[in-house]
Structure 1
Amino acid sequence: MVTEITCYTGTIDSTVSFTWYIDSTDNTLPGQTTSIIDGSTSSILQLTSTKQQNNKKLHCSATNRCGTGDTDNITLDIRYGPKVSLPSELIYKAESETLFIACSVDSNPVSTITWYGPDDRVVSNDKDLVITNINRNQSGIYNCTAITVLQPTNGNQQLKTDSKTVLVKISGVPDQPRDFKLVRVTQDSICVELQPGLNNGYIQEFVFQCSLYNIVWFLSGAVKQGSDQEIDYCITDLDANTVYYIRVVVQNRFGQSQPLSLVTAKPIRTSPVPGDDDKGPYIALGVCLGISITISIGLIILVIKMRRKLKSNTDDKRVTVRNGESHTAETSTYNSLELNTRSESLPSTYNSLELNRGTETVPSPYVN
């Protein structure tokens, strides 16, 4: 902006010369013209104002044959719009720490400063932004905006504005990864891919683990990364035709995330060795045959045991029956003897004898 400043002598003098000084007698300003204004020899300075001239002292000196005269100093008041500056374009902070960002503004007059948060809401009207106990949800872009109202000596009011942004990343224990997927399976490897979770730029380590029974986990390898780029990794040196469980844990300087397991529609099994598929039916047949033989042997052993037990019970019963038969036989013998004594006739010899002795009958000792 060019401003005209006039220096008057009060008289008409064609011999007078003018010199303009700014801040000291060592600094002169060019760009002056001399003319008669209102009956006075005058000097008109065409001053191109810059903000560097603000608050500088300016005066005019007039010299003729009689001597030199100086005007009083005037202080330049240069009006200019704001220039915002921030200490950095990217700031890292840990959770629970205090965020402090100074917004420096150069303007005349003083600007009105407003801080806007990641959601474009006003978070502060002070020059310095201070957030205590910050958390990762407050990560994002913060904007410092300065507004200056300019009112020139001659002219209309003007509104000047400037702003700068800073990206604030708040980090803590890393989040679990996203999109954890199975890529391919070979005889001795399982390859996966994933998308890192929120970490806000800190170096984090992705630790891959595998397990046979989902109980004891073994370290398979780790990948360090400080960006949000996708990660591809292959777990190697695995056994063929074997079911494995896979998971990943993410850690940084603040701690580690919860384990994230790889979820698939069916168990993850490494590929078999070529030729093992042809043996499959025979292996299955052998297994079935072995099971059948085992069951048959078991049934035979069971039958033998049952027969032995049945035979043992039968022998016990026979002993008991024999003991009973011995008593019965003795009783039977005596009963038979009794019956025979009563019912049998005398031998024919005695009958003949009875007839030979006449009519007298001889009593039989066996008759009751």
Structure 2
Amino acid sequence: MRTIDHPCPSCGSAAMIAFYEVHNVPVNSVLLVMTQEEALNFQTGDITLAACPACGFISNITFDEKLTQYSARYEATQGYSPTFNKFHRALAQDLIDRYDLHGKDVIEIGCDKGDFITMLAEMGDNRGVGFDPAYVPGRHPSPAADRLTFIPDFYSEKYADYHADFICCKMTLEHIPDVGEFIATVRRSIGDRPDTVVFFQIPNARYVLSDIAFWDIYYEHCSYFTRGSLARLFRRSGFEVKDLWTAYDDQYLMIEARPAAGAPNMSPLNGEESPVGALRMVDYFVEHYKARREEWRRELARMKAEGKKVVLWGGGSKGVSFLTTLGLTLDDVAYAVDINPIKTGTYMAGTGQEIVAPAFLKEYRPDVVIIMNPVYRAEVTADLTAMGLSPEIRTL
């Protein structure tokens, strides 16, 4: 670890502590890559994670947003998984019940293909506006279509005239480098409407650091938050933080905030760690990540030496990061499986594995299936059993 002269994008503090580096990683990990040649020659960038000792925020300080691409080729939906859909619908219902979202105006920043805001409109009879350059018209035909507007663009100051009773932003803030300015923009757009509810969901950095989940570190994720660093960002931006909680086996971090009428209450909520506490998590990660990577390299080398056929289940960001961080090739892992039919026949950025549908495994008959997210173990195991397969199952 080393202290570097780099301003914190969250609090503006002058110095950060660099603690983790990975070089030459794909700059996008969920774009639809149509040929193996394109995948093997995919543009790369560097990751240098640094923590702010003043607020606990973690940033990839070598991130260059000009290298990333968000368009119709960006395919990150998890909506083909029954496990995820159950969670997603339950979250929508919880938010509708919690904030009485019935006949209300809703904004979703970073709506992707429109799954979630469509649920909020249908389940609560709400009106919605979704912002995302990756939006694809017609992906989700809905009886609420006349109450939904989609703007295929990044949310910014130019959309500050769009107002809502409820503003949500799911799995987007981690893609934004200038988080301080972004949350300040959201606050300015609300103005003096104190009843506006703001809800954000992001990856939980405590989960990444404590589980030594190096596969959850990839180029598009340039910003990482724990409870404390997220709450401190919102308070600095003029919000009262009402609640912080986690979901999806602690992988997701949620925040409820409302605009403060004056100076926000700076008292931490239960579970918020201090900046010192965040640095302790960083220290733990630094002490263990090399051993964790070597453990997986040894395991995969053993499988290869024994002639075992290994596939990854999950053709998204975790899979790309797992393969590229470990330096794996097609000789180590031949295929990646994904239940999203739009990904079938595309390729993993950086390493070139073809992404196949689950039915492909009935003929291929793998010896080992490595599941990229343990949340899906029961679902994947059931799918394999239904196909008459009983490979060794490993999870990250």
Considering only CA atoms, is the larger Rg found in Structure 1 or Structure 2?
1
| RCO higher in structure (CA 8 A, sep ≥6) | 2
Q: Hey, which of these two has a bigger chunk of helix by percent?
A: 2
More strand by percentage: 1
Alignment TM class, shorter chain as reference? under 0.3
TM-score by length of 2: 0.17
